[in-house]
């Protein structure tokens, strides 16, 4: 870790996974860190997510992997059940040693609580409400006007403001968001005792499955191809699960009683131009948002936070460092986004066996050093 950062300052737009990870990575190196987020309430939406091996590896660098494992549900195996009931499994690579799990399911609010607590403990300031309304990236400094009309002058600006990033536009990297004719659902349920890893069930025109996120909770996911219906979430998700048999029948009855069901369109984005401009840079979903089917967006966001700080250690000049970061991350993140789009297409076409193989390939690609 570098030691020359005592007087350096950063403004991070976005207190999501990428922004909070970056806040901790830089604050522990002595940077003065301010995070702003346009959300007015400090709540992460209540569904869960899978943190794969590379996410745990990056969190381990920050001393946070064990906290996430303790708050989540560690696991090693994915079981896929095809339409005809054929079962196949694959073992996930264990990247933080043979005695710790390969990945963890975790409730989003738990992950945010851990990341936020660590950033605050290390001295970062987090302000909810303001966004960036105007930016000037000039002569190695950032001047930002916030939406509350206050001004900031800092050494580095990080746009970690998600797939609909406005910082991306401010630094001249406007990027289209792609829709893929699918919608994903998530429902929180009590964890059935047989759910001790990820289980997926292929169906006609859709796919469902379950991920444990603590000893007491799991979430059911479902992907549908028809995105026109706008019914109430819980009954609609339950309807969509009608064709699934076997253990998925039990999941369906638990979804019917779930108080927390959400749906999201399947969207992706990949900024084509360089992700940095002078001392400003975009990271996480703002730069590269894969589809949820790859379960890799949060992993890339966490890696970004750790590796951005690493590049800032290696280069005295901030503009050079963020450019090096962007160049270093480009191929890996683009590959994940492209693979995620291919997985979504295979699912849409009901080529489930091929999508299982590609998901496995994606996990192995991601296991390579970042």
Is residue 13 a contact point for ligand FAD (CB under 6 A)? yes
DSSP class of residue 176 equals P
Q: Could you give the angle at which helices 108-121 and 17-27 cross, rounded to 10 degrees?
A: 20
Compute the residue count for the chain: 370
Output 103 or 248, the one with its CB closest to ligand FAD: 103
Q: How far is the CB of 166 from ligand FAD (least distance, A)?
A: 4
Q: How far is the CB of 169 from ligand FAD (least distance, A)?
A: 9
Is residue 19 a contact point for ligand FAD (CB under 6 A)? yes
The helix (run of H) or strand (run of E) holding residue 316 is none
Stretch that binds ligand FAD, among 32-40, 196-204, 326-334, 343-351 (CB under 6 A): 32-40
CA 114/CA 162 separation, integer angstroms: 19
Q: How far is the CB of 170 from ligand FAD (least distance, A)?
A: 9
CA 189/CA 268 separation, integer angstroms: 27
Phi, then psi, of 180 in degrees rounded to 5: -120, 25
Of 10, 15, 65, 309, the residue at the interface with ligand FAD (CB under 6 A) is 15
Q: How far is the CB of 111 from ligand FAD (least distance, A)?
A: 9
DSSP class of residue 350 equals T
- Per the rule left: phi > 0, alpha: psi between -120 and 50, beta: everything else, 369 is beta
Q: How far is the CB of 9 from ligand FAD (least distance, A)?
A: 17
Is residue 340 a contact point for ligand FAD (CB under 6 A)? no
Contact mark string toward ligand FAD, 77..96, x via CB under 6 A: --------------------
Is residue 18 a contact point for ligand FAD (CB under 6 A)? yes
Of 17, 103, 115, 137, the residue at the interface with ligand FAD (CB under 6 A) is 17
Token pair belonging to 265: 């369109």
Dihedral sign, CA of 47, 102, 66, 56?
A: negative
CA 333/CA 297 separation, integer angstroms: 9
Is residue 46 a contact point for ligand FAD (CB under 6 A)? no
220 close to 187: Cβ distance less than 8 angstroms: yes
The size of the interface with ligand FAD (CB under 6 A), counted in residues, is 32
Strand order in the sheet with 156-159: 125-128, 32-37, 9-13, 156-159, 280-282, 276-277
Q: How far is the CB of 353 from ligand FAD (least distance, A)?
A: 21
Residues of span 158-217 touching ligand FAD by CB under 6 A: 160-162, 166, 184, 186
Contact mark string toward ligand FAD, 128..147, x via CB under 6 A: ---xx---------------
Buried/exposed 197-229: b ≥16 CB within 10 Å, e otherwise: bbbbbbbeebbbbbbbbbeebbbbbbbbbeeee
Is residue 49 a contact point for ligand FAD (CB under 6 A)? yes
Is residue 233 a contact point for ligand FAD (CB under 6 A)? no
Q: Which residues are paired to 217 by β-bridges?
A: 190
SS3 at position 109: helix
Output 100 or 315, the one with its CB closest to ligand FAD: 100
Residues of span 275-334 touching ligand FAD by CB under 6 A: 284-285, 289, 292, 295-299, 301
Q: How far is the CB of 84 from ligand FAD (least distance, A)?
A: 27
Q: In 3D, which of 233, 147, 224, 230 has the Cα closest to residue 184?
A: 224
Output 47 or 244, the one with its CB closest to ligand FAD: 47
Token pair belonging to 202: 């292929």
Residues that bind ligand FAD (CB under 6 A): 13-19, 36-39, 49-50, 131-132, 160-162, 166, 184, 186, 264, 284-285, 289, 292, 295-299, 301
């Amino acid at each position: 870790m570098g030691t020359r950062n005592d007087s350096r300052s950063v403004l991070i737009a976005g207190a999501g996974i990428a922004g909070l990870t970056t806040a901790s990575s830089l604050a522990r190196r002595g940077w003065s860190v301010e995070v702003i987020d346009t959300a007015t309430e400090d709540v992460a939406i209540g569904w869960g997510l899978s943190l794969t091996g590379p996410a745990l590896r990056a969190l381990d660098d920050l001393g946070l992997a064990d906290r996430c494992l303790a708050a989540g549900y560690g696991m090693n195996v994915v079981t896929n059940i095809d339409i005809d009931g054929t079962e196949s499994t694959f073992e996930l690579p264990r990247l933080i040693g043979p005695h710790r799990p390969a990945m963890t399911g975790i409730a989003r609010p738990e992950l945010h609580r851990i990341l936020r607590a660590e950033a605050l403990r290390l001295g970062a300031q987090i302000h909810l409400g303001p966004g960036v309304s105007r930016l000037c990236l000039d002569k190695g400094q950032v001047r930002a006007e916030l939406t509350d009309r206050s001004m900031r002058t800092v050494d580095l600006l990080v746009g970690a403001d998600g797939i609909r990033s406005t910082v991306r536009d401010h630094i001249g990297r406007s990027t289209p968001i792609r829709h893929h004719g699918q919608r994903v659902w998530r429902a929180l349920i009590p964890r059935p005792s047989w759910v001790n890893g990820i289980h997926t069930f292929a169906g006609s025109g859709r796919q469902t499955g379950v991920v444990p996120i603590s000893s007491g909770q799991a979430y059911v996911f479902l992907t549908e191809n028809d995105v026109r219906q706008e019914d109430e979430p819980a009954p609609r998700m339950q309807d969509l699960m009608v064709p699934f048999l076997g253990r998925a029948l039990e999941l369906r009855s638990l979804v019917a009683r779930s108080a927390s069901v959400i749906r999201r369109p399947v969207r992706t984005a990949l900024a084509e131009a360089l992700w940095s401009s002078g001392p400003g840079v975009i990271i996480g979903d703002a730069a590269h948002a894969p589809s949820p089917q790859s379960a890799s967006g949060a992993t890339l966001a966490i890696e970004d936070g750790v590796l951005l700080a690493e590049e800032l250690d290696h280069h005295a000049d901030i503009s050079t460092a963020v450019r090096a970061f962007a160049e270093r991350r480009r191929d890996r993140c683009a590959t994940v986004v492209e693979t995620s789009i291919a997985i979504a297409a295979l699912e849409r076409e009901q080529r489930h066996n091929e999508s299982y193989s590609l998901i496995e390939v994606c996990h192995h690609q991601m296991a390579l050093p970042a």
